[in-house]
Amino acid sequence: MVEHTGETKNERLTRNVSELLQELRVAQAGVQILFGFLLTVVFTDEFHEASGFEKSVHLTAVLLTVCSTALLTAPAAWHRLLFRTGNRERILTYGNRSVLVGLGCLAAAITTTVALIAKVVYGPIAMAILGVVSAALFVGMWFVVPKLIDHNGD
């Protein structure tokens, strides 16, 4: 069903950009909290005693968080740099792609962090199980459920 809001194209684009930037605030808070946690872990005595594998998994989580931060903040930077150029439609198109990839990186970063914590606390079997469960939860809730909602709306 097509929604008619009575907006001009410019008004709709302005609203859509505003909604995109508002949605990013939610994701960015999660990224900032995760990033802060991952950074503080490095400065503990326990981290220095971690295995090379655990340190590699930690660095992977940090790098995924950095990628997520860059991808989720990019649309706000683009908007700020381009808002007077009449490129709202392109900002929305590329911003949407950036956000989707950024959310994927965030899901991977959180999953990697959960798996690392499970490994340190309970061992490699718990790491595998909780890593798979975490990944499945993100894929299901963020990507499968929206497809089901969209499919059922037809």
- Tens of pLDDT, residue by residue over 44-54, are 998 999 999 99
pLDDT band at 121 (very low <50, low <70, confident <90, very high): very high
Q: What is the dihedral of CA 97, 20, 135, 133, to 10 degrees?
A: -160
Return the number of other C-beta atoms located less than 10 Å from residue 135's C-beta: 17
- What are the two backbone dihedrals, phi and then psi, of residue 55, each rounded to the nearest 5 degrees? -65, -35
pLDDT digits (tens, 9 = 90+) for 12-48: 877 887 787 777 777 888 888 999 999 999 999 989 9
* Average pLDDT value over all residues in the chain: 89
Mean pLDDT of 73-84: 84
Question: Can you list the positions of beta strands (E) in 7-153?
Answer: none
Q: Any idea which residue has 């990224």 for tokens? A: 31
Question: Can you list the positions of beta strands (E) in the chain?
Answer: none
